[in-house]
Structures are given as structure tokens and as C-alpha cells.
Chains A and B, each alone.
Chain A
């Protein structure tokens, strides 16, 4: 069931109890976790935090902890599947689920006792009504048997008529039931067909903190990072992003106004969050401007920087703005102040001439100490790079990424930024090589691309978030580079080797690229059906159903099944 008053129905319930936090591996979940942890520290609620990377992990963690904990909080996992059936908990376990995955499973919505959803009942949930999906079987049976028992007491003369009446009624009831079941299947199919994302979990917990008036600037910053993560990884529509930014902006101005009345201004070490209408160039303040333009998907795709023509256009663009190459290639901090002052406006003006109307995006930046300025975008990239670093195992990665979000662990954040730079360069080079060597094939209802094992940096792309990012950039680049009008509207499936020893590949499907895309992804169900029909050995372990693992040998038959399914 949906929780209406998050303070009474969630926080006050767990405040005196011990709680197990099961947190998924994405940045939004990490930010939500940090906010909840600070609230728990404030009120001394004992908890245990367990990172989970997929359904199997979730099951194992639950089994290990179910004896000791009664209350479980699931962050960014668990809403889109029938949780009670999967975990088989005892009757007194209560699950609080704060998950952005939609659609929410109907059993979770209509369970009143054990599942509490910390999700806003937005308009876009579209949950089917109770009567359409659930029906009490008892009434009909009772009616039938009642009639039959009546029959015995009636005189034999009328019995046949009554028999016929009863039989007719039964046939009618069965027909109605079959109709109802058919309608139910249709409704559920429509409801569960597309997968998408809702409001950020970090924002939900920030709202909880605000309602408790325990919100701090740190929590606000984490909420902003959680929202930005959804935008960077293309999980929400632009409209929703802008609306949520406006909500966050209200909180930011409220926090900033708190200190305006004081006579002494804030110390330089205090944290300041400011609204920025900043450039869409990834990590540009921690890199050189030139590198940032080359490696951000927006500019790279619009200029088509994998072609010679594109490179020339870039040089023209820089010349048009009057930025000398020497300045632009050095670290951003070392650029001349005169150039840095009006940089955003200058770039916006020139980009309009080159067809890039949205080079600036609304976002937030943080500033503490003399040297430390970060945009929300930068934090997301750094944290994501740490979370999926190939050098360490999952547990360490989770801990590193979680630590990098705290202000006191700046060195970790900087190492994350370095990893993010390498990741962006790798993505860019892979995109360029895929486009130039025509690795993207049109299979009819979708585009398909397979990363061979010898591709440089292929280890980076064995992780789901990195592969999804590559997939999105690749599709955007493809749409910009192809002349085939039909291909521009196709979705993309990408496969990359995951584990060479076990012989598995990871397959990701994303919806087609368009300005007004609603980001709804149908590949989850499609993958399931294709795997069933070909009995391919697949592992649907990830919380996003559009990401699966597959045995390399089964790849071709799986693809064929998909093609027939989607044609």
C-alpha cells in the first residue's frame, strides 16, 4: 500500500526499532541512503546497511537478516516484482520500499499489511483498480452450492426447469468469469508492458527530512545529486527533470535565505549550494575545455567529432568564439580570467549558430573551501565511475562510492573524477569506432551492436550502468550520423562480454532516441518472452528488467526470437 504520511507511517514506526537497509547499486540509491543514514544518526536508530546488486543478492541478504530484523527498508529495489512471493517472509516482517522503478507490481500496491510503498501517488502511476484484477471467488461458489442444495427439496416436477435454470446460470457465470479474466490479462499486460522511472528516491527521503525539519544542506545536496543521476543516465523525461529542479530550487533558496540576516557572512568553509544555468559539458571545470567538448555526448554528437569534417567544425567553433587553442587545451583552472568570465554566454551564443540550442541546462553547484567547486553533474560522473570501477570488487566499490559523497572524503572524489574522465574518453572512442566501422546493424524492429572481446576498455562495459551510458551515447551518435529516416526511430540493443570464463554476455536494450521520448522501455518483457521461447540460458538478475545476462552461445537464437517477437 502507498504510505500517505511518511512521518507517521514510516519514520515513527521505525524510530525505536532496528532496521535493515537494503540498498541497490545506483547513485540515486546511494544518495537516498546517505540522507536516511543522517536521519538515523540524528535519532539514534540502529540499522544495518547491506548493498545489493541484483535479485539474488536481495534474496540472500534477506535470508541472512530475517531472523534479526523485523523492518526492512529497500532503496531502489523491490517495487516492480511480487516481493512477498519472491522472499517468502514471515508474517511480521514489514517492508518499506522506496523505489523509482515503475510499474509497481499490483500485489505490492494492494497488500495492506506487509508492504509499504514510500512512493508518491503521482498521476502517472496508472495502477489498475482493485476490482479489475482481484476477485473474490467465494460468492459464486456459495451461490451455486446454495442453489444445488435447494434443488433437492423441490418436487421432482419442477426440478428439470430448475436444473436448466441452474445450469444456464452457471454457464453464464463461467462466461462472465472468462471475459473478466481476459480483460484482466489485457489490463495487466498494458500496465506492465513498459518500464520507466519515477521520482528520485533521494528526493523522497529529503522530503521526509524536511517534514521532520531535520534537513541540512548536505542532505539537500545529496537529493540534488540523486535527481541529477536520473537525468545523466536518461531515466526521466526532460519535463520531469525541469519540474523536479524547480522543487529543489525552492529548497535551495530556503536554505540560502536562512543565513542572509546574519551580520557576519558565512565562513568560506561552509557549504553553499547555488542554482546554475550551466553548460552541458561533462566535468569541464576539472578538465580542459577542449577535452570536455570532445568527450561530452551532446557536443560530440552534434559536431560529429568522429569525422574529419566534425573536427574542422569544432576548430571553427572555437575560432568563432575567439578562444585560442592554447588556452582551451590547458586545464580549466589555468585559463585566463578574461576568458572564463563570460564563457557560458559566449558558448551559448556560438552553439546556437551551430544548431545546439540546449547547450545550457539547469542544475546546481556546490562550493566549499577555496578550491572546491563541483557541479551536480560532476559528482554523478565521479560516483558512477567509482561504483563500477573494474579494479575492485562490488563491495569495495559500493563503500568507495558511498564515501565519496561525503564532503570530508575529497581525495576519493577526486580519484572518482579521474576515473570518470577515463570512462568518458573510453565511451567516446568506442562510439567513434562503432560508427566508423558500421558495427551497428539494423535487424528490422531494432538496431543491434555487439562489442567484441578485443575492443579496448571492454572490461569497463561489462558493468550495467557503463554499458547503458555507452548505449545511449551510441544511439544518439547513430541518429545524428545516419541518413536512413526509418533507422532513426528504432530502439537499440547492445551486447558486451561480461565474464570471459563463464562465457556470458550482458545485454542492454534502450528505447528509441527522440526529443519527446517518454523513456518507456519495453525490452524487459520482450527479453523474458524471447528467453522462454528459445530456452536460452539467461539471468534476469538486475533490478532494471531491460538488462540481462546471457550465455554467448545462445546469443544468435535469442536475437532471432526477439526479431520475430517484435516484428
Chain B
């Protein structure tokens, strides 16, 4: 099968995205996040005063990633046959294809083998490839991340899974000093082709320690690349590209996106690691986002379109390095930028992106860059409070209206 490298254009907004069923909201158990259709769509009236009321009433819908705005879906999936699957299955497909292709690829992490992966990304792989290639590690992030990096120094290509991104904080020394820096400090002698992946982000009332966004902590480590997937299509493509890359790549997945359904091509494809994805072209304002916030943005975009705005939505995908080419072209067109992210306000990806845009495209901006991010608080357990820590579509609509005045 010939591999095709897809640029980001138009690939993401497939129409057949399924949503979570609010009625089936159960206490989050790792292996069965519900995935079903929701018929209710929430149109949020603009402005903040009745937002809280509507939020508390339609609490469950607000947490849901709803269907994206119907746009030109020019994926090959719609032209060819393609097959429909969920995001975690797309990740698994990508991983399996790469493991078939290259015997140096192995997976290590907690419960990735016999258990099948806490989010089922590695389901079935242990049976197919054996214990030496799909390794169940004990609970010692520092050690098994270090081991993966040591193995990579000799030429293996481990995919290291953090059961939750937050646990990788325990391996920070290995990721920062060894993973990121060994290529440089050895004068180019060693390459570290690891992929470090795992789910992060605010889930459904998982508590402060299990709702972390680690992009902000890792972003200044020199020598690594960071990507965030958001659809089954780019999940599989980025997984494959990350495994094939000679650089260490951190692939950020999101706990709430694993059950998104989409049709992806049958043929082999990979996505460019450094490229952003144009979700919805527009004229009035550039909205930059990634991961789960893409869906909140698209939801807000529906409202905005009804109000007569034409937002351009770009899923930046590549968190390090930023795809300033795509972003720059967009800024030059629209002259207004809104960044919507799930990272913390202080020192997050949005903060860096704001700085980068201001530095590079200051002359093209008609308004200051606005950044909507999560609040600088530990994520509370209570559902209503948790909602308020994360950016909601209503706030996005308000921000766009403000910027476009």
C-alpha cells in the first residue's frame, strides 16, 4: 500500500462524528467511556448572565463534544470506501500497522499488554506481537521511560504509554534530560526515536491530579516535538508519523475524545507532524485551537455563523514547533486571532502562541491576540466547578464578538 502524506487541509471536519450520550453518563471507569449519539444540540445564547443558568440546566450537554459544523468534507474517505472507527481504534490501527512494518517498534507501559490498555489503544497487540514487543511494566514511570529512552539509543523505537499524562511528571527528568537532550549532548551520535503518548486533559470529574495538561510543562524542553490529536483521522496519521520520526515525539491524546467516530481512508496515510489543520476556512477571525477545545470551538462556530460571523478555525495540532506558516497565512488574511485552549492560563501553549504571533505577525493584527484558556486552579471534582475551569462555547462566542467589534 502506498503511503500518502496528507497535508492538513480539510481533512478534519468529517460529518459523521458521534457524540456522547448524556443519559449514559456513568462514573468514569477507564475501559468503558460511553459512546452513542446525542440528539440534543445546545444553542447557547450569547452573553454571560444567563449562561450559568443554562449551563447548570444543560450541564451534561455542555461537557459533550458535539458534531462539528458541516463543512466541505473532502477527505478521501468520502470519495473512496473508507471505514468507520472510534478514535482509540484509529490509534490502535496506526500502532499495529507500524509494528507490522518495523520490527523495532515496541510498546511499553502499564497494563498495555494482557489488559489491553486502560483506554484500549493497545488492545489485541500483545496477543499478536508477544510479550517482548508489548511490555507490561510495573508502576515506575521514571524507570520505564528511562528504559525506553535507553533502548531507543540503540535503535529500537519504543512507544511509551503514560496511563495518564499526569503520571509522566514522575518521568520528567528522563524526558527532559535524556530524551530531549541526548541527541545534542552526544554531538549527534545518538537519536532517540521514542514516542511518548497518553491521555491528558480535563475529563469527567476525574479530580485534580488526573486532569492535567502537561503540554505546558514539556513545551520548553529542547529537542522534543509535541503533537496533539483530535480526530480519528489525525490520531492515526500522527501516531504513524510520530513512530517514523527520528526525533522524540510526545503525542497528547484527550480522555474525552477516545470515543469519537469517523470514517477514515482504507489506504495507508500519515499526517505531517509539523503541520496545522484547517478545520473551517473563514474571513473574519482566526481561531486557533487543539485537542478537545476544537469541538467547543466548532460548536461556537455554529452560533457565530448564525450570527453572521465567518470564523476561520485552525487545529494547530503541532504544539512544538508551531506551524507558523499556516497560522501566519491565516493571520494575514483575517487580522484577528483568538486562541482557545485547555491549557492553564499561565505559561500554557496559548501563552507561547500569543508571544509567537505577536513577535512574527504584529503588523498584521488589527486587534490584540486574545487567549482563552483554563483557569489557573486545580481541576475541582464538582461537575459545575469543573465546567467553569474549562473554556465553554459561550465564552468563545463572546470573545469573538468582542474581537470583531
Real binding pair: no
Q: What is A's interface to B at a CB cutoff of 8 Å? A: none
Q: What is B's interface to A at a CB cutoff of 8 Å? A: none
